[in-house]
C-alpha cells in the first residue's frame, strides 16, 4: 500500500536488499526520512566476492562498498546496532543499545546467518568453530589464516563451497578436500553433466572429493598451539585438516521477531510475505534471504540469489511509493571457479528433465537446457556467456502497470549460492 512521500521509512538490515530498497525509494521520489539500521560497523557492501577475489586480496573492502562516496544516498545510517524487537503500536524496532526507532513503514532485510557443523559426539570439549563465509568479518578471519602448506577440508557442495575450495588452492594450500555430500557436486540440483564438469575441473587442479556422505560433526584437538580437526562423515569416516571451512547453507535472521506477530515459516522461520513483500502486519515488509515471498512458497521462484534480493527491493520500493509495479525477471545466478564461469537462468529448480545442447563435461563448455513437462524453463552455461545472455534477453519481462510480479511455474525450491 503506497505511503505519502514524506513518511518515515525504517530499513532493518544494511545488506544488499536493504541498500537497494533505500536506493529504489529515492529513485521513485520518496522525500521523507529513510533510516537504515545495520548490525555491522561498516558501510553496506556486496558479498559475492567474499569467497573469491576478496579472499585473494584482488579487491579491497572499499571495492565492495555499495554506496557511491561521490554521490551517496540521502539516508541515515545507524551502524553497529542489532535489533531485538519489533513493535506494532507504535510501529518501530528496538535496538540492543536500548534505543527505539519509530517509523511509518518498516522493511526487514536482515538476511541470514551461516549454518555450521556441531561438535562431534566424541569431541573432548576442545571444539573450534570452523570458518564460514557469510560476512566481511568471516572473510577477514579466513583471509588472515595461513593456508600455505595446510590441509583444508571444505564442507558443502554448493557454489560458495566450491569457490572457497578454488581460492584455497590459489593461496597455497597443500591439499583441499571437498565434502560435498554427493559424488558429483551440484548434480542433484543441476544435473549429472554439470556435476561432472565441476568435479573434473576441480580435480584437474588438485582438489579431492570425499566419498558421498553427509558431514555429521567436527572434532578438534590441540598439540601445543597447533589445532587439528577431524570432520566426521556418515558411516564414521574422518577427514583430517588444519583448516575447516563450512558452507552448508544459511538460516534467516529472524529470531528477534518470534513474539512480534510477524508470521514466520514453520521450517526455516523465514518471514512470510505476499509478492509485494508485504507481511500480514500493516506497514511491515521484508525482502532478501530473511523473507519467503508467496512465489517462493508456491515453488514459482528459488531463494538465496543475489538478483532475487535486488529485484525484491525494487518491488517494495515501487509498492511503497505507488510507482508502476516492477516485474521480477527470470531467476539468474552465477559462479566463478578457476577458469569456469557458470551461469544459470530461468526456473531450473522446477525442471524434471535436462538436455545437453552443446559441449562436454571434459571440455568445460557445457550448454544445458532444463524442461518441465516438455516446456523449456531454464538454461545453464559453463563459459557460455553469450548463449546465456541471449536466453535471458529473449525471456525478459517488460514492466507495465498491469503486470504482476511473478511468472507461472511449479516445483520445489532449492537454495543456490548466487
Q: What is the mean pLDDT of the chain?
A: 91
Residue scoring higher pLDDT (76 or 418) = 76
Beta strands 226-233 and 238-241, pairing class = antiparallel
CA 190 – CA 192 distance, rounded (Å): 7
- pLDDT tens-place string over residues 257-271: 999 999 999 999 999
CA 161 – CA 209 distance, rounded (Å): 12
Q: 332-394: which CATH number, 3.20.20.70, 3.30.390.30, 3.10.20.30, 3.40.190.10?
A: 3.30.390.30
- Look at 104-118, 196-210, 213-227 and tell me which has the smallest mean pLDDT: 213-227
CA 303 – CA 328 distance, rounded (Å): 13
Q: What is the mean pLDDT of residues 21-46?
A: 96
For residue 51, which phi and psi values (nearest 5 degrees)? Answer: -95, 0
pLDDT confidence of residue 297: 82
- pLDDT tens-place string over residues 382-404: 999 999 999 999 998 765 444 44
pLDDT confidence of residue 222: 83
Q: What is the DSSP letter of 326?
A: P
Grid cell in block for residue 214 = 553427509
Q: Where in the chain is the domain with CATH 3.50.50.60?
A: 9-113+251-321, 136-248
Instruction: Flag whether pLDDT at 292 surpasses 80.
Output: yes
Which helix (DSSP H) or strand (DSSP E) does residue 86 occupy? strand 83-88
Rg (CA), the chain: 22
CATH architecture of residue range(s) 9-113+251-321:
3-Layer(bba) Sandwich (3.50)
CA 382 – CA 234 distance, rounded (Å): 32
Beta strands 332-337 and 151-155, pairing class = unpaired
- Look at 124-128, 286-290, 407-411 and tell me which has the smallest mean pLDDT: 407-411
pLDDT confidence of residue 406: 39
CA 71 – CA 69 distance, rounded (Å): 6
> Would you say 36 and 19 are in contact if contact means Cβ atoms under 8 Å apart?
yes
Confidence of residue 408 (pLDDT cuts 50, 70, 90): very low
Residue scoring higher pLDDT (29 or 300) = 29
Q: Where in the chain is the domain with CATH 3.30.390.30?
A: 332-394
Instruction: Flag whether pLDDT at 407 surpasses 90.
Output: no
Residue scoring higher pLDDT (411 or 202) = 202
Closest CA to 184 of 176, 173, 174, 196: 196
pLDDT confidence of residue 386: 97
Closest CA to 248 of 166, 181, 197: 181
Instruction: Flag whether pLDDT at 13 surpasses 60.
Output: yes
Sort residue 283 into left (φ over 0), alpha (ψ -120 to 50) or beta.
left
> Would you say 365 and 359 are in contact if contact means Cβ atoms under 8 Å apart?
yes
CATH number given to 136-248: 3.50.50.60
Instruction: Flag whether pLDDT at 121 surpasses 80.
Output: no
pLDDT confidence of residue 123: 62
Grid cell in block for residue 147 = 593456508
List Cβ neighbours of 145 (8 Å cut-off, separation of 6 or more): 131, 243
pTM: 0.91
- pLDDT tens-place string over residues 139-185: 999 999 999 999 999 999 999 999 999 999 999 999 999 999 999 99
Instruction: Flag whether pLDDT at 92 surpasses 50.
Output: yes
pLDDT confidence of residue 302: 79
CA 237 – CA 211 distance, rounded (Å): 9
Q: What is the mean pLDDT of residues 349-378?
A: 96
Count how many Cα atoms sit within 13 Å of the Cα of residue 145 in the half-sphere of its side chain.
26
Grid cell in block for residue 126 = 576442545
Burial class (CB in 10 A: 0-12, 13-18, 19+), 350: buried
Of 82-96, 327-341, 388-402, the range with the highest mean pLDDT is 82-96
Grid cell in block for residue 362 = 571434459
CA 326 – CA 25 distance, rounded (Å): 13
Instruction: Flag whether pLDDT at 411 surpasses 70.
Output: no
CA 137 – CA 133 distance, rounded (Å): 9
**DSSP structure string for 35-65:** EEEESSSS--B--GGGGTHHHHTSS-TGGGB
Confidence of residue 122 (pLDDT cuts 50, 70, 90): low
Alpha-carbon distances, residue 113 vs 46, 85, 116, 250, 254 (angstroms):
16, 18, 10, 5, 10
> Would you say 9 and 285 are in contact if contact means Cβ atoms under 8 Å apart?
no
Whether residue 166 is preceded by a cis peptide bond, meaning omega within 30 degrees of 0, is: no
Amino acid at each position: 500500500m503506497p505511503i505519502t512521500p514524506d513518511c518515515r521509512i525504517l530499513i532493518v538490515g544494511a545488506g544488499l536488499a536493504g541498500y537497494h530498497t533505500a536506493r529504489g525509494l529515492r529513485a521513485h521520489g520518496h522525500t521523507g526520512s529513510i533510516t537504515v539500521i545495520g548490525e555491522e560497523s561498516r558501510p553496506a557492501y556486496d558479498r559475492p566476492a567474499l569467497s573469491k577475489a576478496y579472499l585473494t586480496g584482488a579487491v579491497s573492502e572499499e571495492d565492495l562498498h555499495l554506496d557511491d562516496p561521490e554521490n551517496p544516498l540521502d539516508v541515515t545510517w545507524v551502524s553497529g546496532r542489532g535489533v531485538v524487537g519489533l513493535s506494532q503500536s507504535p510501529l518501530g524496532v528496538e535496538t540492543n543499545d536500548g534505543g527505539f526507532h519509530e517509523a511509518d513503514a518498516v522493511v526487514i532485510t536482515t538476511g541470514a546467518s551461516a549454518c555450521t557443523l556441531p561438535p562431534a559426539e566424541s569431541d573432548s570439549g576442545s571444539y573450534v568453530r570452523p570458518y564460514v563465509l557469510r560476512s566481511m568479518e568471516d572473510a577477514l578471519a579466513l583471509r588472515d589464516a595461513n593456508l600455505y602448506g595446510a590441509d583444508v577440508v571444505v564442507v558443502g557442495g554448493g557454489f560458495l563451497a566450491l569457490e572457497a575450495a578454488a581460492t584455497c588452492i590459489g593461496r597455497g594450500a597443500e591439499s583441499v578436500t571437498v565434502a560435498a555430500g554427493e559424488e558429483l557436486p551440484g548434480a542433484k540440483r543441476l544435473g549429472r553433466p554439470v556435476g561432472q564438469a565441476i568435479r573434473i575441473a576441480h580435480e584437474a587442479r588438485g582438489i579431492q572429493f570425499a566419498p558421498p556422505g553427509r558431514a555429521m560433526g567436527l572434532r578438534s584437538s590441540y598439540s601445543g598451539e597447533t589445532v587439528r580437526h577431524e570432520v566426521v562423515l556418515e558411516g564414521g569416516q574422518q577427514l583430517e585438516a588444519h583448516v575447516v571451512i563450512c558452507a552448508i547453507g544459511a538460516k534467516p535472521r529472524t529470531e528477534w521477531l518470534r513474539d512480534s506477530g510477524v508470521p514466520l515459516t514453520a521450517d526455516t522461520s523465514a518471514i512470510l510475505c505476499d509478492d509485494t513483500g508485504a507481511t500480514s502486519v500493516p506497514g511491515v515488509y521484508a525482502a532478501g534471504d530473511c523473507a519467503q515471498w508467496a512465489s517462493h512458497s508456491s515453488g514459482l521462484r528459488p531463494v538465496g540469489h543475489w538478483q532475487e534480493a535486488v529485484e525484491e527491493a525494487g518491488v517494495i520500493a515501487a509498492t511503497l511509493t505507488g510507482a508502476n509495479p516492477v516485474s521480477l525477471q527470470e531467476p539468474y545466478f552465477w559462479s566463478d571457479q578457476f577458469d569456469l564461469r557458470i551461469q544459470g537462468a530461468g526456473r531450473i529448480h522446477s525442471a524434471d528433465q535436462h538436455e545437453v545442447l552443446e559441449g562436454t563435461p571434459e571440455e568445460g563448455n557445457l550448454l544445458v537446457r532444463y524442461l518441465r513437462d516438455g516446456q523449456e524453463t531454464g538454461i545453464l552455461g559453463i563459459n557460455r556467456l553469450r548463449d546465456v545472455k541471449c536466453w535471458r534477453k529473449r525471456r525478459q519481462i517488460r514492466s507495465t502497470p498491469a503486470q504482476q510480479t511473478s511468472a507461472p511455474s511449479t516445483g520445489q525450491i532449492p537454495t543456490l549460492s548466487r
